[in-house]
Structures are given as C-alpha cells and as structure tokens.
Amino acid sequence: MGGIRSTATDMVKYVDANIGAAPAKLAKAMALCREQTFTDGTMTVGMGWLIARPVGHEYYTHTGATGGFATYVAFDPVERFGVTVLCNRSQQANIGAEMMRFMYGL
C-alpha cells in the first residue's frame, strides 16, 4: 500500500503536467506510466493509471482513499483537460467520473 499527501494545488499541477506542461524529460516518463500493461477485456491498466475508453475517447484515471478522505484524478492528454476531486469523506460518489462524462458530452 502506498499513498501521496498533497493539496488541491499539487493535484492540479500533477494533472497539468500530464496533459502537456511537464518538461520534456519528465513528460517522457509520465507518458510511459500511461502505456497499457494489462487488460482483461473489461478493465485496462497502465503503470499507475486505469485507462477509460468511453465512445471515441481515452482518458486516464486513478482513485484513492484513506482515513475518511477520498480522491479522484482523471485527464485526457489529447483533449488537454482533467478533473481533480478531493473529498472529506471516504467515498467520492463518482463525482469525478460524472464530470469527465460531462466534458465529453456523454
């Protein structure tokens, strides 16, 4: 098990780096983390990211929870947008996933 302690500002910077704001050397490593490493036909995973593929799109997402708090991060490096949700409860009720669907007009 692992975890990251960060602020909303940190998470926004992290998403921003993943959609194109990272220096070239770091961008290459970040892209490597998004390469598909496993699929079972219903779920696809990269090195640290779940890969979601709604109709005509692909985005990367990861969630986490600990001690009464939950997070959701997702981004689309092609469309260059992302979502970060931080909740002060143990579940974030899929708010982030709903926001991603809204961004795609789904």
What pLDDT was estimated at residue 81?
93
Which of 46 and 94 is assigned the larger pLDDT?
46
What pLDDT was estimated at residue 78?
92
What's the pLDDT tens digit per position in 19-74? 988 998 898 898 888 999 999 988 899 988 999 988 788 999 998 888 888 889 99
What letter represents residue 82's amino acid?
Answer: G
Residue carrying structure tokens 């219903």: 42
Asked if the structure places residue 2 within a domain, the reply is no
What pLDDT was estimated at residue 46?
92
Asked if the structure places residue 12 within a domain, the reply is yes
Tokens of 98: 């709903």
Q: Is the pLDDT of residue 93 over 80?
A: no
pTM of the entire predicted model: 0.86
CA 20 to CA 86: how far, in whole Å? Answer: 22
Asked if the structure places residue 72 within a domain, the reply is yes
Q: Quick check: 65 and 1 in contact, CB under 8 A?
A: no
What pLDDT was estimated at residue 42?
86
* Structural domains in the chain (count): 1
Domain of 71 in residue numbering reads as: 8-104
Residue 101, Cβ density class (10 Å: 0-12 exposed, 13-18 middle, ≥19 buried) = middle
Helices (H), 17-90: 24-32
